[in-house]
């Protein structure tokens, strides 16, 4: 059986191998992905972003449990932080998620962000496509950062969640409005800690400043304590409400169209980058030297490269 057909049947090994191939930009993987593409677009994609240590992984685990109880199949893409100091946290993630190792309806894959060839966002969306093709109902993506990180997670997800924690009340003031607009659900995790009410009040003020049309989604605030599970049910409810809102209101189509456009741009960028990688190094170095000495302009260097590619 072809590997892509095994992925369609939910084969974990075939899917894991394909995602590794995508990470390494292997031509075979790109081809395989290509034939899977028509089988994607079914899953609901959920992004979970937040500062390091905000409780993303712990909260994600509570959501996996709840979705499994609802008989939904789950995929998880965990994006490892780039920071070399985060090795411990990453290992911690793996251990915490291990309890799902025996449940074949939960497929977890972490993407090591170091040494990636060919774009963080593109690899993430393609790993999501693989899980989608496997038939997962919901795909959860964990990413460090609050919208300003390397990956703007809201751009590749249907529902995006931003996790905040008490004690960052001042930071809220400094957050740009754009970040607030990037999330559909705001979670205040570690609600067992002091400062929860302050944060909620600050957030409500920020969110209140944005006017909403009657048929627009108004971002929700959910308080959680991921370690005890308090608030987890409510969060899952809000997620499913947002999914319902998207599918019934037509906003999903708009989001998916925007994403399709992005994917096309990423595909073009990646093919240009790999073209440059494959170019004759000596010729490339010579162009750079000519540029540096102002013997040619960037535009004419580009023209030469384009002419070369026509041969
Ligand atoms: N007090 C308290 N601690 C929590 C809560 N949720 C998570 N934690 C703790 O916060 C720490 C970080 O939790 P993680 O789930 O690893 O956080 P993360 O956002 O995934 O962290 P990174 O992946 O490293 O960015 C752990 O020690 C958790 O036990 C909570 O609701 N209350
Ligand atoms: Mg984590």
Q: Inform me whether the pLDDT recorded for 51 exceeds 90.
A: no
Q: Hey, whose CA ends up nearest to atom 15 of ligand 1?
A: 55
- The answer to whether residues 185 and 238 touch, using CB atoms and an 8 Å cutoff, is yes
Higher per-residue pLDDT: 236 or 122? 236
* 166-186 confidence digits (pLDDT tens): 976 556 655 655 666 778 999
Q: What is the pLDDT of residues 64-92, one digit of tens each?
A: 999 999 999 999 998 865 433 333 334 44
Q: What is the pLDDT of residue 288?
A: 95
Q: Evaluate if residue 40 carries a pLDDT over 80.
A: yes
Mean pLDDT of 277-288: 92
pLDDT of residue 90: 40
Position 100 scores a pLDDT of: 54
Alpha-carbon span 155 to 24, nearest angstrom: 23
Among 234, 154, 231, 169, which Cα is nearest to 205's?
Answer: 169
**What does pTM read for this prediction?**
0.85
Q: Can you tell me the mean pLDDT for 223-243?
A: 97
Determine the average pLDDT of the residues in 260-265: 90
Query: What local confidence, expressed as pLDDT, does residue 293 receive?
Result: 97
Residue 85: its pLDDT value, please?
32
Residue in the block written with tokens 């987890």: 232
Q: What is the mean pLDDT of the chain?
A: 84
The burial class, CB within 10 Å (0-12 / 13-18 / 19+), for 115 is: exposed
pLDDT of residue 95: 42
**17 pLDDT higher than 60:** yes
Burial class from Cβ neighbours inside 10 Å (0-12, 13-18, 19+) for residue 108 reads buried
Which residues have CB atoms below 5 A from the ion given as ligand 2? 56-57, 93
Ligand 1 neighbours, Cβ below 6 Å, are 50, 52-58, 81, 86, 89, 92-93, 144, 189-190, 192-193, 225-227
Q: Which atom of ligand 1 is nearest to the CA of 144?
A: 25
Q: What is the mean pLDDT of residues 183-208?
A: 90
């Amino acid at each position: 059986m072809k590997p892509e057909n095994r992925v369609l049947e939910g084969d974990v090994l075939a899917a894991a191998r394909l995602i590794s191939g995508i990470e390494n930009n292997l031509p075979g993987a790109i081809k395989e992905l290509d034939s899977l593409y028509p089988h994607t677009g079914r899953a609901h994609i959920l992004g979970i972003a937040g500062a390091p240590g905000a409780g993303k992984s712990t909260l994600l685990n509570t959501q996996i449990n709840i979705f499994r109880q609802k008989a939904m199949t789950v995929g998880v893409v965990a994006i490892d932080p780039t920071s070399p100091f985060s090795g411990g946290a990453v290992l911690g993630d793996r251990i915490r998620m291990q309890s799902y190792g025996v449940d074949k309806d939960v497929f977890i894959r972490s993407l090591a962000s170091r040494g990636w060839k060919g774009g963080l966002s593109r690899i993430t969306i393609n790993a999501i496509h693989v899980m989608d093709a496997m038939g997962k109902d919901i795909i959860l993506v964990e990413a460090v950062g609050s919208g300003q990180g390397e990956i703007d997670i809201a751009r590749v997800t249907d529902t995006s969640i931003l996790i905040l924690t008490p004690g960052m009340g001042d930071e809220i003031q400094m957050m740009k409005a754009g970040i607030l607009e990037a999330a559909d659900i705001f979670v205040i995790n570690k609600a067992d800690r002091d400062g929860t009410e302050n944060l909620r009040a600050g957030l409500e003020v920020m969110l209140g400043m944005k006017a909403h049309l009657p048929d627009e989604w108004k971002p929700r605030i959910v308080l959680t304590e991921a370690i005890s599970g308090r608030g987890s049910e409510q969060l899952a409810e809000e997620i499913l409400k947002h999914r319902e809102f998207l599918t019934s209101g037509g906003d999903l189509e708009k989001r998916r169209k925007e994403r399709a456009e992005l994917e096309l741009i990423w595909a073009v960028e990646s093919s240009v980058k790999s073209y440059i990688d494959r170019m004759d190094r000596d010729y490339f170095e010579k162009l750079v030297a000519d540029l540096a000495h102002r013997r040619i302009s960037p535009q004419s260097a580009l023209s030469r490269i384009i002419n070369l590619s026509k041969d």
